Structure 1
Amino acid sequence: MGKEWTRKLASKGIMYWKTIALVIMLTCVPISIVSFINWHVGNQYLIRQYQQNNEQLLKDTARRVDEQFSQLVQYASHMMSNPVLKPSLADTNFVDQFEKTQELSDTLYFIENGDPLVDQAYLYVAKQNKIMQPMLGLRTLDDPADAAAWSKIMSSDQSIFWTNGLPRPFNKGKSTHAIVMKLPFNSQQSYGALVLYVNPAKVNLSANSEQVAFVLDGEDTLVGQSDASKQYPEVMPSILEKLTETTRSYDTQLHFQLPLKNDKLLVSALSFEKMGGIWTFVSGTPSSAITAPTGPYRHVVIVYWIGSLCVALALSWFASNRMYRPIRKIVDLFKEGKPEPAPENNELKYIEEKWKQYRSVNETLQSSLNQSIPKVREALINQFVTGQAAHLTEAEIIEKLQALQLDLAEHRFFIVVCRLHSLTLNRGQLTAKDVQLLTYAAVNLLHEMSERIGSYVHTIDFMDGSFAVIVCVPAASAASGDNLKRPLMQLGGDMLNTLRDVLGMPATIAVSGPAGAWRDVPYLLEQAKRSLSYRSFTSDSQLLEAEAVMEKAKVEVEFPFELEQEFTHTLNLGLEKEAEDILIRFVEALQKDGAPEWVVHQGLMRLKNSLFRSMLQSNHNPYAIYDGIKLQEELEALRDANACIQWFRANVIRPYIEVLNRSYHPSMKGIVDQIMETIHENYMADLSLETFAMEAGVSVSQLSKAFRQMTGSNYIDYLTTIKMSHCKKLLVSTDMKISDVARAVGYQPPYFNRMFKKLEGMTPGQYRDQFNPTLQDQKKA
């Protein structure tokens, strides 16, 4: 029932809603206006009545405050005539005359408690710079600021006056409002003053809980306020601004309004004369407190308005339905009974607008479909190539591509993978943005060139300077895979030449295929990508046939371990030039027999790691000198041997040489070199580090530390390595007894056997049997 009702309302046309809106406006708007005016006028009337009644209350409260302060002045004048406060106090010795001092303190205590407005009573004796107060007793004004402030009151021409700037001495704080009475009263020569501080909380404002009330003295300083005033601290500056703009005199009245948060404050002010100045009593009440009694009336108005609105809506709906029924019948005929939303325009133009709408929607959908098909097709191909659609059969894949306007039935497929060599350009290393732009240009070039032999070409950018091109060739033009490989390899060569001539970019291109089934395309792509790592490391641009390269992928490379150790040892000695020469020989040894790119990269990474291990053994932190991840990424991006050598020299060798130059003294280097030379010449003798230290005139600890930093190992390990190296040579190249071999290098046979097995994992006899070629030939015979 609810859905049917909603559907009927939604089917109404704009004419229906205009009609009902007009009826509602003609009925509800006057009711709303009248209700609002009644409510607003009633509130304003209450406010005016309150202001009129408040004027008398304002005068009564101001008169009460005036009388309260007048009584205080009269009380103070009466106290001044007390015989205790005689002029002889100016020269009284209050310490000696204790009884007189006590009487004076009792009198001040009586004065403090004689009037509720009095907070504290002070007696000031100017000649002695002393004050007396019942709680403080007799004190001297030691603080210069307090002494100056209290001395200043004696310069006034008035015998009794009001002040709001006299601080209470000895950090007593509280209010500074006070009545000052010079002693003796009306005398030309005053010896001091009686000061009565006023308690603002005792000012009788007679304000209710919601009324804001202030009393301001002649200087518009706040003397007292009601509790409600503390809830509105922001109104005080505005009140003072209004009062300042008005010239006030005795009995001056002011009325104004101040804005509050979600409310407004109705303020009334009355001035009166007090102690030679114009004082002002300010009273204010929030308008919400005044109009609070109208709450029930407001609810009545709202209920009346809602009821009238409901009646108006019901009448409007009934009238609109009766008026709209003939038009609705005509519209339903054109809709042919189909539920549709109401037309946006007039129902009389419905047929014309409907026809335009259908035609526009049809053209838009067709255009969107034509634009989205290539993108959807590319997304599907990328999804399959990356292995995310491996569950689909060949027929399902072909069917899905046919639905996207691509018929790959009876086609053969080739893969062309290209990697740009951006870091080997003579113009320097390119930024990531430059590589992205050049890759984009290269992708477009290879796409256009591939269209020479393929009916459909799909490109994939791997976002790392490399990309792939999938070439689809009709089976009719590809009689055999071998006949098609030749023009495809020729096309690859043309691509390399074009990239070099147009973009100035060397590159490596790998061609893989053909494949008769689309499901083999991911395998061809992976094969082509892997073959890039087997490119020769001796030229810039290369063309690879992936299948042939992967058949020869198992290469045997002799790793130059001796050069690795020699390089680490030489670099630890700080010999930069010699280390660079060894690095060149190391790279040449890796390139021997045409080793592929990945072999050179892995060899250089091993050399770097070996250097790191040696640095750690020498108490150098390689991770504080190098960024390991960055070094590996930069090295893997290099495509020729010269670039690798230059990079290794600048990023690995030189930073370490700088660290070595700062870590030890040059004279210590000569001593270590001499020790190493002696070890190599007399390794069979009993050589101790203490002997070398004594001959060089250095401490054993200094020499041991320098030896470890320069060789990467401690003295004992280094000597043991040299001796074991000669032992292995004697075991392999001679037929000496094992005991004779041990004595030849300065070892006892039992110790030699244990040490050899610990270091090599086998006994000396087993080592000779395994590596002596003569014994191996005898065993074979």
Structure 2
Amino acid sequence: MIKPIGRSRGSFFWKNLGLVLLITCIPIAFIGIILYYIGTSRIEAEVNRAHQNQLNLSIQQMNDYLTNLEHSVVRLAFDRSMDEMLKNMDLIQEFSKTNEFMKSFSLITESNSLIDSVSLYLRDADKLLGDEVGFQSIRMDEDRKLLESLLEKERTIYWNYSLKKINKPNSKNKAIIIKLPGGQMYGSYGAFIIYLDQDKLNTMVYKLVSGEGVAFLFNENGDYLTTPRNNEPTPDQLSLEDALKNQIMKENFNDHLFKYEWRNQIYTVSYGKIAKLGSKWTVVSATPLSQITAPVTFLSRLILWISMVGLTIGLLLSWFASNKMYAPIYRLKNLFEASRNNRSEEKDEIIYIENQWRQHLKEQQALDMRIKQSIPALRESFLLQFLQGNLYTHTESEIINKMKQLDWDVENKRFAVMVAQLHGLSDLGGKFTERDAQLITFAASNIILELCSEKLKLVHVTNFQDLSVGIFFALDNSFTNEEIKGLLNKLAHDYIVSVNNVLRLRITIVMGKISDSIVEIPNVLDQTRKALRFRDLHTTNQMLDMNQFMIENTSLKHFPSELERDIVHAVNMGLEEEAVRLIQQFMIELQSNNSTELMVHQGMMKLLGTLHDTIIKHDVNLYTLYEGIHLYEQLMQISEPDPIVDWFQYKLIRPFIKTLTIAYDSNMRETMNKLHGQIQQEILLDISLEMYADQLQMSSSKLSKAFRQINGINFIDFIIRLRIEKCKELLVTTDMKINDIAGLLHYQPSHLIRIFKKSEGITPRQYREKHTQGNPSDSSA
């Protein structure tokens, strides 16, 4: 808690107190007076206007109901179906027509809430048809005379304000009479009678007022069309209604709104005239002025009380503020002393606060310097998360604001990305190994960063640690697409030259699409990295532009299915070398016809799937065999042809063949070892696979498969290899002619020469001459 300042209240304190009182209390008092005198009249005017608008809307609603009623009457009067055929119509025989009339009457009644019922009177038929009375004959002369009198009026459509219903002798109803046929004043054969619902009419008028007000309706003759609101109306109400009616009929007011004093009470009177169906009605509403202004009176008193309360609070707050005027300086001094944990000997608080503030500024500058030094690392981390798509929930403005905090103003900028992939690490003859990939990628990142720093300011290089780097550019929005492309093309060309000269590696560069929105960059970068798969494997250095790049059909144009079957056969036989040789040939076939990296990967993925299926058929546990490695995912990480072939050999085929060899029957292995030695002894005899199969009592195919799986070479190739070795021995140690050696080895001379040259690369004669140089030879081959 802050201790009070130990100073006596002098003249300065009282002067400030008076100033605060003036500043606080005078505006409050002035506002209160204005609100009371000006606000009250304004509120009263608004309340009166709102009340008048409500009355006008209610009168308009009544007018709309009567307009709807007028339209219904006119349509009914001039309905073409109501012609003189009704005069001779037999309502009983033509029951369907009668039924249609009944339905029409019901629809008319339901279409307007003011209509109580509709009836049709036919004089010649002496019948009355209606939705309330149904179908009945006129039996009493009194009723017949009443109905016939309706047809004697000169007007075609007119009002009758006291018409009784034939089934209700004492009733008096307001009704509209429509003589038939419509448009003829004489010779009517019948009439429509539309009775109004008196209760609905009363309710509609009574809605105009509430409380102690009165509302009524009268016609041009001064007859009341509404009944009193209560069954036993008070004399005051009837007297007020008569007085208002006489006043309105005697004087013609322009604005239909006036104030009327009645028995020491002022009423706000509003009336409107409605002319429908040849009659003029007047709607009158009178509401006591005290009832309308009651909310205004309450608000006026409330404003006065609020002003007084505000003035009192202002006085108290002024006193409290005067006591606290020196408190901020005292609190600030205590704050500095608490932070330094010592007491100041300086008597002048202002000088003490100034010295402390300068010390804080020095510390803040030092802190700002440390933050500024850490901003590049923070920016690198943020951009790495952003470009990897981890900030997808952030909006454009959030990303831009965050970049501004990290000293990168990317507002109103254009953005571009470029991805570079290094190739040819395996072609350097052992200069680099796969373990050096991260080091090489780091060097490539430094090269592109150095090239960009010479021309561009806002550049970020991402090291993907897999011989590929990504470059993010933020460029001025004044650059056009062509200017940006030219700048990036020049940068890419310089980068290719630098990587070729420094790292001795090939490089593929893909330039991403140019974007005006920074939130699109992670997606653009991802698409650009995927476009690396479309590089041409036969091109040394490549540049692809995603702004012009069209993805063509990436399906394999020619798939070497026969080689695939041979590879599967070699793997099944356990022939690793043969399988690897065929995979190399398979890779060459895939690279033909200008295939891209993606197309080669598709083919190798298909081969992996086929071999995967083949391995499963041998009941091998793939999880145990490959130690839980995801083969497809691992293959996707390799982009160069030679490493892909090595992966197939060492990661896929060799573990399987080892498992296959270990699992093979030990007795069969012993038998094959014996057969191996027997063949070496009998190589000069006329031997064959079938001969040894008969000796071992097994089929030729089974023997061939077992021989190949255990020895790693098929039977025929093994025989050829032994006979070539025997031929080489005879060429060097004997003087036998080629024809004699071929006969000894059970070959035709031409066939022996052909297979010898295929195996050794030279002919038998050249081999003898090469290995007998310096030794005397008495005979020639």
Q: Which bracket does the TM-score occupy, shorter chain normalised?
A: 0.3 to 0.5
Task: Find the structure with the greater CA-based Rg.
Answer: 2
TM-score by length of 2: 0.40
